[in-house]
Amino acid sequence: MRPSTNIAAVAAASTLCILLASCQSSAPSSGPDRSALSTMERVAVGANSCWFKSGDAAFSAYRLAPELNSFTGRPRILVVHKNSPEGRPLLVVQAEGNPARLQAFGPMMSEPVSTRIASDVTRWSGGGKTCR
């Protein structure tokens, strides 16, 4: 592995740990619904509007594939190649439980964009609606 790849992997792992820790903290009852489905609905809406409909260059080669109806209790969104949506996902963001515990994984979490993905997902899962 190249040194820059190691740094990116460490940064992505650190960011993911922060993402998971922030989602596991208790929230006031007056905040948004913290169930896995509600959380992933907020994340899907944010990702769709901020990453894809906005024409964001970092996501222009990809498309969103939401899978919110889950029989496993883990609603999720996938980011796949725009021209081959049947291929392996490049990013999976999923939630489980109430309050939701989030996970983000896949090749994009080893790229420089992983820090942004983690901060966006954390903001949207908590009820924020803004783009970066």
**Confidence (pTM):** 0.77
The pLDDT > 70 percentage for the chain reads 77
Using alpha carbons, list the distances in angstroms from residue 21 to 43, 68, 87, 100, 119.
17, 22, 30, 11, 12
pLDDT tens-digit map of 24-57: 444 445 677 999 999 999 999 999 999 999 999 9
The predicted pLDDT at position 2 comes to 45
- According to the model, what pLDDT value does residue 85 have? 87
In tens, the pLDDT along 87-111 reads 999 999 999 999 999 999 999 999 9
Which residues have C-beta within 8 Å of that of residue 17, sequence separation ≥ 6?
Answer: none
Average pLDDT of the segment spanning 8-34: 51
Q: CA 51, CA 48: separation in Å to the nearest integer? A: 6
CA distance 60 to 58: 6
Q: Higher model confidence: residue 79 or residue 23?
A: 79
Q: Given this model, what pLDDT does residue 46 score?
A: 97
- Number of CB atoms found within 10 A of residue 77's CB: 24
Q: Where are the domains of the chain?
A: 3-26+33-125
pLDDT band at 14; cut points 50, 70, 90: very low
> For 52, which DSSP code?
I
- pLDDT at residue number 29: 53
